[in-house]
Amino acid sequence: MKNAQKEEFQIHKLNDAIMDAYKKAAPLFEKYKKKYNLSDSMGQFANIDFDPMNAQESYMNFLEKIAQNPNKFIEIQAGFANEWMNLWQQSMSNFVVGQGNQETISPQKGDRRFKAHEWQESALFDFIKQSYLLTCNHIEKTLEDSTDLDDKKKEKLKFQAKLFTNAMSPSNFLLTNPEVLNETMKTGGENLVKGFQNLLEDLQRGDGDLNISTTNYEAFELGKNIATTKGSVIYQNELMQLIQYEAKTDKVNKTPLLIIPPWINKYYILDLHKGNSLIEWAVEQGHSVFVISWVNPDSKLSKKNFENYMLEGVIESLDQIEESTGESEINVLGYCLGGTLLATTMAYLTKKKQGKRIKSATFLTTLLDFEHAGDMKLFLDDEQLKKLDEMMDKHGVLDGKEMQKTFALMRANDLIWSFVVNNYLMGREPFPFDLLYWNDDCTNMPAAMHRFYLRNMYRDNKLIKAGGISMDGVDIDLSTIKTPCHFISAKEDHIAPWVATYEGTKLMSGDVTFTLAASGHIAGVVNPPHKNKYCYWSNDKTPKSHDEWLDKATRHEGSWWGVWDEWVANFSDSKVNARKIQNEIEPAPGSYVRVRY
């Protein structure tokens, strides 16, 4: 009797939760229809862009190529049929044995979708997994090998296909994910109801659009448990605040260090929690550290361009540091887009006979030659640039969420589907993770600046051409730069591929060092030595070929931070007494970084 009462209570509880969820869903759906001017008629959905990457033309070209020469396509299909036959035979054997003990195809290293033991031990789920992976492999092979399609169109189709196959992974669905099935049976379906409530909360957070929660946002507060290195804002203008950090050593390097972060995200990726901060670590090594904290712009700054970021950002910071420390020569580190701006500034200063103001330059995961700039270029053909222009014309800025969506698509399994499974199918709350809190704290892009950057760098690759672009009336020529430079890139970087960043070493006239870190765009950079994580490669030479560089490079365990510190010490001169902050406007991390949109 007690069990029956318990089950009845559980059913009532679930029914109440479901009804409550549907009550919340109704107004959200109405808000969504109103926001996008939709009615119940399917005809209204013509307003929605179902081809945001403009891949239809590439797909039609692909079909035409197959029709013109079908032999290779037929050959690949025959190979696929043969692989399926092998999988079927092995799976039948596994069903008889009672477990999956043979594999035709295995997940790639690092693929966390199939880590549950059932994917290996259950003959059924092993078959589901392998059939999915085999199909993914076949689609990629078909696109790669069956036609002589233009490389750019081929890459766009492969990326689109990967987005589709990632979405269709059996791990993303209730009935084909053993972990979700186990949780559903264990909780009596409460996980699905909770997941639906999580979905509604994310829709509310996105004002009708789905804004997937990736972390516990209440767990972090700037200045308390994230971006905590002590310092002060000593200068500010419309575009940035300049932060000076308190010394932690009695003596500091005579030559100050300026860090230029990208303004696509906020600077505190380099100052996460204590012990995981490049800024904190640099201060502990005896550097006088200054960091630019870029403003999160609104429509009032829509006309700020790349030139403004150079003059009002980097050069103004150099002026302020000289005024504060008395040092006219400064070591500068630029991260990602901040590095692109740094190189542009160096060429500008060289032409103005002020090249020595930057004593050494460090480029973290920085693109200067955009010819092979990776998946980002797939989003930037003329048609897509036109759509971005329309968005920016409407708001004066590119909404930071649009950039975030683009980066999420480039790592869809990690940044989209893993949270769909965790939040909506398993009914769990996302884990509090400072890196993902930062990732969600996105920034807008001023329309004028972003148009210039996307067209002149990504699309037309003008930065590598002497006089290809001009800043404040000065033609930019990277080959005039004689400043010692250190390029530090990440081997698995999908935003600034290292084979593309390596091309930057060929553009300078001075001494150039190249170091390759393991991991990706963020983890390869935020890698404190005390964690003894990942590795890096070094080579005293910088030959023309990146393959030759890697073939002759030496692999080292641990972080690249120490090697960089040894390199930059060559340009730090003597030690001086620790500098005190003279002109405090407000404590770090400052007010600009707190602005959210």
Say yes or no to pLDDT of 10 above 60. no
Active site residue 336: yes
Most confidently predicted of 81-90, 122-131, 135-144, 343-352: 343-352
Residue 211 or residue 278, greater confidence: 278
Range from 95-109, 134-148, 478-492 that averages highest in pLDDT? 478-492
| pTM to 2 decimal places | 0.90
Amino acid at 446: P
Among the ranges given (118-132, 248-262, 311-325, 466-480), the one the predictor scored with the smallest mean pLDDT: 118-132
Q: What is the pLDDT averaged over residues 361-369? A: 98
Q: Is the C-alpha dihedral spanning 551, 557, 561, 567 positive or negative? A: negative
Q: Determine the Cα–Cα distance for residues 483 and 505; give it in Å rounded to an integer.
A: 12
Q: What is the residue-wise DSSP string for 177-224? A: -HHHHHHHHHHTTHHHHHHHHHHHHHHHHTTTS-----S-GGG--BTT
According to the 3-state scheme, what is the secondary structure of 519-577? Answer: CCCCCCCCCCHHHCCCEEEEECCCCCCHHHHHHCCEEEECCCHHHHHHHHHCCCCCEEE
Find, among 39, 59, 56, the residue nearest to 47 by Cα: 39
- Lowest-pLDDT range of 118-127, 364-373, 543-552: 118-127
Model confidence at 380, pLDDT cuts 50, 70, 90, reads confident
Catalytic position from the list 336, 442, 485, 535: 336
Query: Which domains, from first to last, does the chain contain?
Result: 52-188 (no CATH), 231-372+462-594 (3.40.50.1820)
Confidence of residue 29 (pLDDT cuts 50, 70, 90): low
Helix, strand, coil percentages for the chain (3-state, nearest 5): 55, 10, 35
Q: What is the mean pLDDT of the chain?
A: 90
User: Per-residue pLDDT for 232 more than 70?
Assistant: yes
Q: CA-to-CA distance for 272 and 79, rounded, in angstroms?
A: 49
pLDDT at position 60 is 83
Assess whether pLDDT exceeds 50 at residue 553.
Answer: yes
Confidence of residue 41 (pLDDT cuts 50, 70, 90): very low
pLDDT band, very low/low/confident/very high, at 533 (cuts 50, 70, 90): confident
- The CA–CA distances, whole Å, from 288 to 22, 276, 321 equal 56, 19, 10
Residue 379 predicted with pLDDT over 50: yes
pLDDT at residue 479, as a whole number: 97
Residue 138 amino acid letter? H
Per cent of the chain over pLDDT 70 is: 90
Half-sphere exposure of 493 (CA within 13 A, CB side): 27
What's residue 489's pLDDT? 98
Residues 71, 72, 75: CA angle, nearest 5 degrees:
90
Give residue-wise pLDDT tens across range 487-505.
999 999 999 999 999 999 9
Residue 399 has pLDDT above 50, yes or no: yes
pLDDT-above-90 percentage for the chain: 70
Cα torsion at 452, 350, 260, 306 (round to 10°)?
-20
The position carrying tokens 């932690």 is 248
